[in-house]
Each structure stands twice: as structure tokens, then as C-alpha cells.
């Protein structure tokens, strides 16, 4: 009982559990959103020993049934899906307003050298 009087809510085990549980839910939500077939690109480089048809056969006979089994066959663009870094807020890049060039002198025994030219872009 004495510990209850001095503990802050942030120090309680229940609080720590709830924060951890909430963070776990956020991670799962992220994974469900972005680790999904409609956010997948399959890149094959090099020569396949049995040709392209062997790869397509594996995709059709093994991968697609697994997607259907896990209820992830929602098509290439499910309703409400936005491509990350393209159609989301992180994809909205601000233009660079100005570029500044400055000559910065530095002490050097060899006086024949001039300063560095620094190009700085201000965001």
C-alpha cells in the first residue's frame, strides 16, 4: 500500500503493460497495412534454370492460394489504399526555397589555398 502512494501512473506495471500493448497494436496495424500483397514488387534478375514459366507456376500454384487462404486477395488497389511515399503525407515534398553559396576561410600554413566553397540548401 505504501508504494501505491508514491508511484506515479507512469511507473505502474499496468501502465507499462498498456503502453506496450498499444505499441504492439500500432506495429501490427503497420504490418497489416504495408506488408501486404498489394504493396509487393517481385523483381527477378538473371536466368531461371527452368525459365519464366517455372516462376509463374510457383506463384500461381503456391503463392496465390496462400493469399486467398489468408484473406489477402483484395486486388492491386484495395479501397482506401494509398501508396506509401507517393500518395501519403510523406510523399508531399516541399520545394527548396533557396540555395546559398559562401566562401569560408580557414587557417592554413599554405596560404596559396583559398577557402572552401560551401553550398547550403535551406529547407
Distance CA 114, CA 117 (A): 9
In this prediction, residue 37 carries a pLDDT of 84
Q: Is the pLDDT of residue 52 over 80?
A: yes
Sorting pLDDT into bands at 50, 70 and 90, what band is 22?
confident
- pTM beyond 0.85: the answer is no
Side-chain-side CA neighbours of 17 within 13 Å: the count stands at: 3
Amino acid at each position: 500500500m505504501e508504494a501505491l502512494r508514491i508511484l506515479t501512473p507512469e511507473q505502474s506495471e499496468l501502465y507499462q503493460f498498456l503502453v506496450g500493448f498499444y505499441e504492439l497494436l500500432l506495429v501490427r496495424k503497420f504490418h497489416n497495412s504495408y506488408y501486404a500483397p498489394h504493396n509487393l514488387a517481385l523483381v527477378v534478375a538473371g536466368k531461371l534454370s527452368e525459365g519464366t514459366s517455372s516462376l509463374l507456376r510457383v506463384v500461381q500454384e503456391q503463392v496465390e492460394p496462400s493469399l486467398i487462404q489468408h484473406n489477402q486477395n483484395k486486388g492491386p488497389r484495395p479501397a482506401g489504399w494509398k501508396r506509401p511515399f507517393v500518395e501519403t503525407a510523406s510523399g508531399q515534398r516541399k520545394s527548396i526555397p533557396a540555395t546559398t553559396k559562401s566562401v569560408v576561410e580557414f587557417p592554413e600554413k599554405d596560404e596559396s589555398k583559398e577557402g572552401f566553397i560551401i553550398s547550403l540548401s535551406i529547407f
